[in-house]
Amino acid sequence: MSSQYKEYGPHRYEKPDATGKQTCVCGCWKDRKGQGGPTGIDPSFGAACPHNPVDGKMLGKGNDARAVIEWRVFQAGAEARILEEALDEAWKELVEKARPKIRALRRQVRKLGNELAKAKSELAKVKGEEDPNKFMRDFEEFQKSERDKGF
């Protein structure tokens, strides 16, 4: 682990107690059931221990813990960006694979919609309704909105 200040080594646990629990001077611990520790330096989120500077010199006044925590936050942000990029790429691939099926379904919907619009217009004419082409115009607007989505 490195930070703008210094590099820190792993937690150094003492020998297990009677229950099998091991502790580190920083407050972290591990046993057969898991591990834990103070917020930000818990070994579940990284191996660096603020009480184990590689150069052997502590910064003091909580600065070692701060350096470890800032590094972990930086690493988490970098990992999140990598995952977001992978998700974006997977989404693009998924859309590209689905695009032909979506287009085929939309063609079927348009065909059926045109047939329905014509039938409704003819029915409206037979009934003597005022605007027999209203349904057809509404359907054409729907088609245009679908085309604007890029499929």
Same domain, 59 and 101: no
Q: What is the pLDDT of residues 30-43, one digit of tens each?
A: 999 999 988 888 88
Q: Is residue 122 part of a domain?
A: yes
Q: Is residue 2 part of a domain?
A: no
Q: Distance (Å, rounded) from C-alpha 64 to C-alpha 43?
A: 15
Q: Is residue 67 part of a domain?
A: yes
Q: Distance (Å, rounded) from C-alpha 23 to C-alpha 16?
A: 8
Q: What is the pLDDT of residues 49-80, one digit of tens each?
A: 999 999 999 998 889 999 998 888 888 899 99
Q: At what angle do helices 134-147 and 63-127 cross, to 10 degrees?
A: 150
The total number of structural domains in the chain stands at: 2
Q: What is the mean pLDDT of the chain?
A: 85
Q: Which of 48, 77, 106 is the last residue of a domain?
A: 77
Q: Distance (Å, rounded) from C-alpha 31 to C-alpha 108?
A: 62
Same domain, 63 and 113: no
Residue 115: predicted pLDDT: 87
Instruction: Annotate 24-46 with DSSP letters as a single string.
Output: BTTS-EEETTEEE-STTT-GGG-
Q: Tokens 């500077």 correspond to what residue?
A: 53
pTM above 0.85, yes or no: no
Same domain, 20 and 70: yes
Q: Which of 77, 102, 117 is the last residue of a domain?
A: 77
Q: What is the DSSP letter of 55?
A: T
Beta bridge partners of 2: 7
Per the model's pLDDT, the better-predicted residue between 150 and 106 turns out to be 106
Same domain, 53 and 96: no
Q: Which of 55, 77, 99 is the last residue of a domain?
A: 77
- Domain containing 94 equals 89-147
Q: Distance (Å, rounded) from C-alpha 83 to C-alpha 86?
A: 5
Q: What is the DSSP letter of 52?
A: E
